[in-house]
């Protein structure tokens, strides 16, 4: 990708990655805010540099996939992962847990779950996260959540667990998911990454990536001459370039407790730099045409975080300082709800 022209956003891509991660680490270590001297990061809401460190991903990994209090089967882990990620909303998951207790595939009552979600909607509660646009799969119901429950039921009944555990690559897992109604390329890839956090698979995240709409927008702002078909190659190129670019800019970037940026992280950073440029470089043209950042950083989230927890197979949990857990008091679950 050396032949492509680069805008000023190229350097900002790396600076943003480092500054946003620095803010995350400062907060995780219990330091008082503000956690950044970057005025844009301080004012607006951006996801973490590392996807697995985000609040929802942390809840998924810690409480749904690696809940040590539960003896979960492979079917349970896959079912719980997909049920949670379809709505991508911690409050929705907790409302289901209050009704069902321990959520398992074998005894999950889809009719009761549908009624519970219908009641939540009727009371004015939001059951889906705003992070993704979730189209309704074509399963014949008027309500989107009903169609999603029907989709999930059909996936499990069609022995998706066996297909997942027999997949031989992240790409093959992605194509398995892409075959289902309502899962386009972006969602199929995101779900493949989420499943790969669990013990069901163990694929290297750098082997395959799919650029989402936000990433395409960010890539256009960073590499104005790039073609849409260049997107995945550019993401892989950024993964390969990270060490030399951080060094060139004089940035000491230690990664996620020693773990370097992976393709999914670089894909996400392109999404975030797309937003960042709306303020930092408003003249740069992307694809979406959006001109402002909608979500501001919420001061209500300025409280303690629990010690981060990542898939044990990454072998980085033992590198997280013990002081993280000892320096935070109170209920871990309540703290997690307030995490960055």
Tell me the pLDDT tens digit for each residue of 224-242: 999 999 999 999 999 999 9
- Mark whether 173 and 262 lie in a shared domain: no
- Mark whether 89 and 181 lie in a shared domain: yes
Residue 248 in this model has a pLDDT that exceeds 90:
yes
pTM: 0.91
Q: Quick check: 225 and 4 in contact, CB under 8 A?
A: yes
Q: Quick check: 326 and 332 in contact, CB under 8 A?
A: no
- Looking at residue 336, what is its pLDDT? 39
- Mark whether 104 and 226 lie in a shared domain: no
The reply to whether 95 falls in a domain is: yes
- Mark whether 315 and 276 lie in a shared domain: yes
- Mark whether 34 and 75 lie in a shared domain: no
- Mark whether 47 and 74 lie in a shared domain: no
The reply to whether 130 falls in a domain is: yes
Over residues 29-58, the pLDDT tens digits come to: 878 778 899 999 999 999 999 999 999 999
Region label for 202, one of left (φ > 0), alpha (ψ between -120 and 50) or beta (otherwise): beta
The reply to whether 4 falls in a domain is: no
If you average pLDDT over residues 206-228, what whole number do you get?
Answer: 96
If you average pLDDT over residues 322-334, what whole number do you get?
Answer: 44
- Looking at residue 315, what is its pLDDT? 94
- Mark whether 25 and 87 lie in a shared domain: no
Structural domain of residue 42, as residue ranges? 9-54+208-337
State how far the alpha carbon of 303 is from the alpha carbons of 18, 28, 158, 164, in Å.
22, 10, 43, 38
The reply to whether 60 falls in a domain is: no
- Mean of pLDDT over the chain: 90
- CA-based nearest residue to 279, from 9, 5, 2, 4: 9
The reply to whether 203 falls in a domain is: no
Three-state SS string across the chain, please?
A: CCCCCCCCHHHHHHHHHHHHHHHHHHHHCCCCCCCCCCHHHHHECCCCCCHHHCHHHHHHHHHHHCCCCCCCCHHHHHHHHHHHHHHCCHHHHHHHHHHHCCCCCCCCCHHHHHHHHHHHHHCCCCCCCCCCCCCCCCCCCCCHHHHHHHHHHHHHHCCHHHHHHCCCCHHHHHHHHHCCCCCCHHHHHHHHHHHHHCCCCCCCHHHCCCCCHHHHHHHHHHCCCCCHHHHHHHHHHHHHHHHHHHHHCCCCCCCECCECCCHHHHHHHHHHHHHHHHHHCCCCCCCCCCCCCCCECCHHHCCCCCCCCCCHHHCCHHHCCCHHHHCCCCCHHHHHHCCC
The reply to whether 314 falls in a domain is: yes
The reply to whether 275 falls in a domain is: yes
- Mark whether 229 and 327 lie in a shared domain: yes
Q: Which residue, of 145, 164, 198, is where some domain finishes?
A: 198
Over residues 154-206, the pLDDT tens digits come to: 999 999 999 999 999 999 999 999 999 889 999 999 999 999 999 999 999 99
Dig out the tokens for 107 from the structure: 């005894």
Q: What are phi and psi of 273, to 5 degrees?
A: -70, -25
- Mark whether 224 and 185 lie in a shared domain: no
| Total structural domains within the chain | 2
- Mark whether 212 and 176 lie in a shared domain: no
Res. 321 pLDDT band, cuts 50 70 90? low
The reply to whether 1 falls in a domain is: no
- Looking at residue 9, what is its pLDDT? 97
- Mark whether 45 and 122 lie in a shared domain: no
Q: Which residue, of 175, 198, 221, is where some domain finishes?
A: 198
- Spatial distance between the Cα atoms of 98 and 118, rounded to a whole number of angstroms: 16
Q: Which residue, of 198, 216, 248, is where some domain finishes?
A: 198
Over residues 88-147, the pLDDT tens digits come to: 999 999 999 999 999 999 999 999 999 999 999 999 999 999 887 788 999 999 999 999
- Mark whether 137 and 92 lie in a shared domain: yes
């Amino acid at each position: 990708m050396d032949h492509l022209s680069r805008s000023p956003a190229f350097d900002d891509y790396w600076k943003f990655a480092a500054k946003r991660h620095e803010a995350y680490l400062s907060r995780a270590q219990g330091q008082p805010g503000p956690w950044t001297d970057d005025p844009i990061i301080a004012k607006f809401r951006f996801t973490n540099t590392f996807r697995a460190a985000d609040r929802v991903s942390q809840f998924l990994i810690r409480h749904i996939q690696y809940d040590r209090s539960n003896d979960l089967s492979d079917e349970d882990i896959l079912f719980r992962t997909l049920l949670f990620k379809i709505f991508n909303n911690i409050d929705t998951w907790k409302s289901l847990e209050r009704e069902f207790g321990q959520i398992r595939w074998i005894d999950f009552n889809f009719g009761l779950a549908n009624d519970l979600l219908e009641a939540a909607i009727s009371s004015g509660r939001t059951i889906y996260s705003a992070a993704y646009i979730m189209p309704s799969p074509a399963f014949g119901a008027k309500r989107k959540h009903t169609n999603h429950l029907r989709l999930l039921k059909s996936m499990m009944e069609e022995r998706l667990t066996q297909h997942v555990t027999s997949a031989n690559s992240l790409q093959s897992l992605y194509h398995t998911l892409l075959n289902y109604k309502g899962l386009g390329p972006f969602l199929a890839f995101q779900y493949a990454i989420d499943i790969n956090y669990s013990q069901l698979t163990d694929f290297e995240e750098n082997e395959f990536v799919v650029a989402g709409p936000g990433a395409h927008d960010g890539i256009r702002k960073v590499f104005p001459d790039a073609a849409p078909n260049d997107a995945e190659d550019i993401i892989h190129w950024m993964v390969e370039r990270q060490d030399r670019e951080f060094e060139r800019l004089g940035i000491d970037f230690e990664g996620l407790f020693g773990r370097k940026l992976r393709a999914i992280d670089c894909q996400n950073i392109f999404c975030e730099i797309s937003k960042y440029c709306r303020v930092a470089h408003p003249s740069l043209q992307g694809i979406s045409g959006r001109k402002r950042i909608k979500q501001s950083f919420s001061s209500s989230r300025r409280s303690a975080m629990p010690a981060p927890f990542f898939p044990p197979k990454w072998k980085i949990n033992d590198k997280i300082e013990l002081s993280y857990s000892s320096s935070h008091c109170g209920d871990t679950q309540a703290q997690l709800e307030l995490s960055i």
